[in-house]
Structure 1
Amino acid sequence: GFGPALVTADEVPAGGKGLRLETRLNDVVVQSATTDDMLFDVATLIETISEAITLEAGDLIVSGTPAGIGWARNPRLLMKDGDKCEVSIEGSADRSTLSRS
């Protein structure tokens, strides 16, 4: 899951611009990008999603993955049982951790 704490809009740069996103697999950085690299900026994502559903306090938008997915690597880098995957975004107090067993 995410958390236990997430940041509010007033705790990040306007529009969420320039925040570093990282994915670590077993403590090795396998993806690193910034929100500036996104195809659609945060404001556009919120606007588009809000046209289809009502966003409520506490809702979380997960928009995809930066470049570097394991499937596209040669050789492929795939999670195995017991691997630890951590996803973090600059400025957030915590990171999300997924352990597969």
Structure 2
Amino acid sequence: MPPKRPKKIEYLTERIKSCIASGAYRDTFHAALRKNERNISLPEIIHVLKTGRHEKSKDQFDEVFKAWNYALRGETVDGLDLRVIISFDDERDLLIITAFYIEQRR
């Protein structure tokens, strides 16, 4: 019988805001590459994490890392629609997995 998946975080937005306030967040290598490739700044990502909404239907369990990846979506200060995928490590830090604009930036 396969091991049970861990429970999803119940108060996700509060946990995100707490991590941001305390500086307990970081990019993964993948996120750093994609931010550069897609011309997305860290302030845009932080803004969406603070003000966006949790898209529960887009959450996925990562079998390799045995952790939930959570999707948040919101508008940047410039009004662009951005989705940010995050997770948490064993130390309870927020990990930015990737970010992308819902529509191509012109």
Return the TM-score normalized by structure 2.
Answer: 0.29
**Structure with greater strand share of residues:** 2
User: Structure with the greater relative contact order (CA < 8 A, sep ≥ 6): 1 or 2?
Assistant: 1
Return the TM-score normalized by structure 1.
Answer: 0.29
Pair member with larger Rg: 1
